[in-house]
Chain A
Amino acid sequence: KNQVEQSPQSLIILEGKNCTLQCNYTVSPFSNLRWYKQDTGRGPVSLTIMTFSENTKSNGRYTATLDADTKQSSLHITASQLSDSASYICVQQAGTALIFGKGTTLSVSS
């Protein structure tokens, strides 16, 4: 069982709609929780990083939440755009190691 689980595996939404991606993690010790966006053929780009004491962080239309009690995080995308089509990867940092989820593939259609 992967230590960072994401859902759904893939998602298709219409342009302008909102969506929420989920991440459950079990890795210890906890350093921080990151969300990355990976466009096709490109490397991952950081969207947000949250430490244990932060429970919400925004980056433009992206808002990440963190519930350290339930070990869950979510990434909410508001007013989606075609350029949001990408893989969104939840990553937990435990010590110096990054533990990657398998990602959610988001397709935004017009």
Chain B
Amino acid sequence: DTAVSQTPKYLVTQMGNDKSIKCEQNLGHDTMYWYKQDSKKFLKIMFSYNNKELIINETVPNRFSPKSPDKAHLNLHINSLELGDSAVYFCASSQQDRRPGYTFGSGTRLTVV
């Protein structure tokens, strides 16, 4: 059973398009996250969300928006895609009051052409 699953695994799209990446966790965690890993392998948080609060990294363009239909899902919507959005996007989840904490999905490689 996959704990944190993301779809699609690969996404190639043209500049200007709008796309979504889906994430689901079956761990019963209360918080979910989106991270971006750039070409230099550096992971940077974009959003964290639990059923009370959305925390947005101020460096994330407002073309990116998380949508959570329920506690087990946090989807990432990206509008007007740009070349610089090409990266690997990781979803993660955690239970805030419990260790070891974070579980990551296997990533979605987005390529904007």
Number of residues from A at the complex interface, CB < 8 A: 19
Report the minimal beta-carbon distance from B104 to chain A, rounded to whole angstroms. 3
Q: Which residues of A contact B41 (CB under 8 A)?
A: 38, 87, 102-103, 105
Q: Which residues of B contact A97 (CB under 8 A)?
A: 45
Beta-carbon contact of A96 and B102 below 8 Å: no
Q: Which residues of A contact B102 (CB under 8 A)?
A: 46, 98
Beta-carbon contact of B100 and A43 below 8 Å: no
- What size tier do the contact residues of chain B reach? 20 to 34
Counted as pairs of residues, one from A and one from B, with CB atoms less than 8 Å apart, the total is: 41
- Residue A44 is within 8 A (CB to CB) of chain B in the complex: yes
Across the two chains, which residue of chain B brings its CB closest to A103?
A: B41
> A43 CA to B93 CA in the complex, in Å?
12
Beta-carbon contact of A89 and B107 below 8 Å: no
State whether A89 and B100 are in contact (beta carbons under 8 Å apart), knowing that A42-B107, A43-B107 are contacts in the complex. Answer: no
State whether A46 and B100 are in contact (beta carbons under 8 Å apart), knowing that A41-B106, A41-B107 are contacts in the complex. Answer: yes
Report the minimal beta-carbon distance from A53 to chain B, rounded to whole angstroms. 14
Q: Interface residues of B: mostly helix, strand, loop or mixed?
A: loop
Beta-carbon contact of B42 and A100 below 8 Å: yes
- Residue B86 is within 8 A (CB to CB) of chain A in the complex: no
- Residue B96 is within 8 A (CB to CB) of chain A in the complex: yes
When each residue 69-93 of chain A gets 1 if its CB lies under 8 Å from chain B and 0 otherwise, what string results? 0000000000000000001010001
Report the minimal beta-carbon distance from A96 to chain B, rounded to whole angstroms. 7
State whether A44 and B101 are in contact (beta carbons under 8 Å apart), knowing that A96-B48, A96-B96 are contacts in the complex. Answer: no
- Residue A12 is within 8 A (CB to CB) of chain B in the complex: no
- Residue B52 is within 8 A (CB to CB) of chain A in the complex: no
> A98 CA to B55 CA in the complex, in Å?
13
Beta-carbon contact of A44 and B96 below 8 Å: no
A residues adjacent to B (C-beta < 8 A): 34, 38, 41-46, 49, 87, 89, 93, 96-98, 100, 102-103, 105
Q: What are 18 A-to-B residue pairs whose CB atoms are below 8 Å?
A: A41-B107, A42-B107, A43-B90, A43-B105, A43-B107, A44-B90, A44-B104, A45-B104, A46-B101, A46-B102, A49-B99, A87-B41, A96-B55, A100-B42, A100-B43, A102-B42, A103-B42, A105-B41
